Amino acid sequence: MATEAAHGADMAEHAVEGGLSFHPMDQFMIKPLFGAGDVGMFTITNVTLWMFICILAIIGVMVLGTSRRAIIPSRSQSVAELAYGFIYKMIEDVTGKDGLKYFPYIMTLFMFIVFSNFLGLIPMSFTTTSHIAVTWVLALAVFLGVTILGFVKNGVHFLGLFWVTSAPLALRPILAVIEIISYFVRPVSHSIRLAGNVMAGHAVMKVFAGFAALAVVSPVSIVAITAIYGLEVLVAFIQAYVFTILTCVYLKDALHPAH
Amino acid sequence: MAVEPIQEEMAGVCVDAHGSAIGMPQLCGEWIPNQIFWLIITLVVIFFVLSRIALPRIASVLAERQGTITNDISAAEELKRQAKDAEAAYEKALADARTEAQAIAQKARDEIKAKLDAATAEADAKIAEKSAESEKVLAGIRASAVESVEAVAKETAEAIVAALGTSADQAAIDAAVANRMKG
């Protein structure tokens, strides 16, 4: 919050220059870490930095935290075991036992998203999951993986997913069209849901921080930032959870396409 | 974001002359390949760290803990069973001891009763013997007393007759006394 306030003060200078100015989207800018210039594909940027921190955090909890292999776990080992059990149980509940083969892939998705979301809540940090490019790659990987898996596992029977046999025959072609559209919309909603939630929360916080420049409303805006921050902590976890459980649901469709 | 002079050199497709983003940074095409590249590297690294090191390790720890818990529970059940056995043995010993104590008490009571009966019988016999003896003595005494009374009566009668101044023969007096005594 302190940095947000400092940022507000910075904005106040702008306000003196020419009215109140907001740059709520500037926090999502990609910047090269070393020097200036164009951002190429392999440029080391703030994206690289925060993804690297994300990897380190995951290694810290999941590898270093469990290094003692204690029967009675330490705190960090408990967290790692909790995350393991949480995702393991989710897959088992949603897809059944045969979905557990894909546990490492789903765990990778969940750990990346949850750690990116929470690291993004550190003031002045960069939130990688606020970018549609990132979430789109994640959602597309899930979509392609699940679709290919569905055809490999079930062959042509996978198309039964779109042919609702429990409906009257006359309705089935219409339902098939709806099912196909909804199937192809999945990666879109899957990716935009995550990026949109994260981006919106961060942008709203920035807008309130901009209002903090006005002395009259600054107490209100600081209280609002605090409240929104609490909400964002919830959103950070819930969106990771939602992304993961939807992945499990899609995986279930691929493994058991029958309605 | 803070506007620094250095950023003004960065003005391009996604950044304006003040170093701020043009529109949504998320939709600026120039920034997309960079993110996708680093994302894929990150996901691959996380995947290998998790699938090669972290997840098997956590799985083994959880399995080991489950095993320990199962063992402890079965050991606890074994101990509980032993405790139950010991309790049963204790109860049995207690019941046996109680029965034995009752038997001993009963026996002692019977013995005492037998002794008491014997002693009572003996005492009764003695009493009966003594009373028979006494009766015999008493009968003797009574008999001798009657004899004495008769003798005294005869003598007295003789003396009274003599005192009256008449004489009577011994035989008449004896008969008269004996006659009186019978009545």
What confidence score (pLDDT) does residue B10 get?
52
Q: Which residues of B touch A35 (CB under 8 A)?
A: none
**Looking at the partner chain, which of B31, B34, B50 has a beta carbon nearest the beta carbon of A108?**
B50
Query: A134: which residues sit within 8 A by CB, 6+ positions away?
Result: A116, A128, A195, B35, B36, B39
B14 pLDDT band (50/70/90 cuts)? Answer: confident
CA–CA separation, A102 vs A242, rounded Å? 17
Q: Which pLDDT does position A214 carry in this prediction?
A: 84
pLDDT at A82 over 80: yes
Determine the pLDDT at residue A194.
95
Chain B residues touching A52 at Cβ < 8 A: 42
Q: How far is B68 from chain A (nearest CA, A)?
A: 8
Count of CB atoms situated within 10 Å of the CB of B98: 10
CB contact under 8 A, B1 and A29: yes
Mean pLDDT score of chain A, rounded to an integer? 88
The β-bridge partners of A45 are A32
Residue among A48, A63, A195 minimizing CB distance to B54: A63
**Is A134 part of the contact surface with chain B (CB cutoff 8 Å)?**
yes
Pairs of CB atoms within 8 A across A/B: 151
Find residue A32's DSSP bridge partners: A45
Radius of gyration of chain A (CA): 22
CB contact B8 to A (< 8 Å): no
Name the residue among B1, B30, B46 with its Cβ closest to that of A23.
B1
Smallest Cα distance from B72 to chain A, Å:
13
Q: Which of A30, A54, A112 sits opposite B35 (nearest CB)?
A: A30
Q: Which residues of B touch A71 (CB under 8 A)?
A: 61, 64-65, 68
Higher pLDDT among residues A249 and A1, named by residue:
A249
The interface predicted TM-score of the complex, written ipTM, equals 0.86
The distance of Cα A210 from the centroid of its chain, to the nearest Å, equals 26
Query: Would the pLDDT of A235 be above 60?
Result: yes
Report the pLDDT value the prediction gives residue A176, as an integer from 0 to 100: 92
Looking at residue A225, its pLDDT comes to: 93
Residues of B in contact with A29 (CB under 8 A): 1, 14-15, 21, 25, 31
Domain holding A132, by residue range, is: 2-255
Q: Is the pLDDT of residue B5 over 50?
A: no
Domain count, chain A: 1
Residue A17: the pLDDT is 43
Residue A161 has pLDDT above 60, yes or no: yes
Chain B touched by A73 (CB under 8 Å)? yes
* Other CB atoms within 10 Å distance of the CB of residue A35: 7
Does the CB of A33 have a partner CB in chain B at under 8 Å? no
The nearest CA of chain B is from the CA of A170 a distance in Å of 43
Q: pLDDT of A113-137, one tens digit each?
A: 999 999 999 988 999 999 999 999 9
Tell me whether residues B49 and A55 touch, CB distance under 8 A. yes
Is pLDDT larger for residue A194 or for residue B23? A194
Greatest mean pLDDT range, A167-181, B12-26, B145-159? A167-181
**In 3D, which of B2, B27, B22, B24 has the Cα closest to residue B12?**
B22
Contact A133 B20 (CB under 8 A): no
CB contact under 8 A, B37 and A41: yes
Residue B12 to chain A, least CA–CA distance (Å): 8
**What does the pLDDT look like over B118-149, one tens digit per residue?**
999 999 999 999 999 999 999 999 888 888 88
| CA A166 to each of CA A75, A163, A170, A257: distance values in angstroms, whole numbers, following the listed order | 50, 9, 12, 13
Find residues 18-57 of chain B whose CB sits inside 8 Å of chain A: 20-21, 23-27, 30-43, 45-47, 49-51, 53-55, 57
Per-residue pLDDT at B36: 93
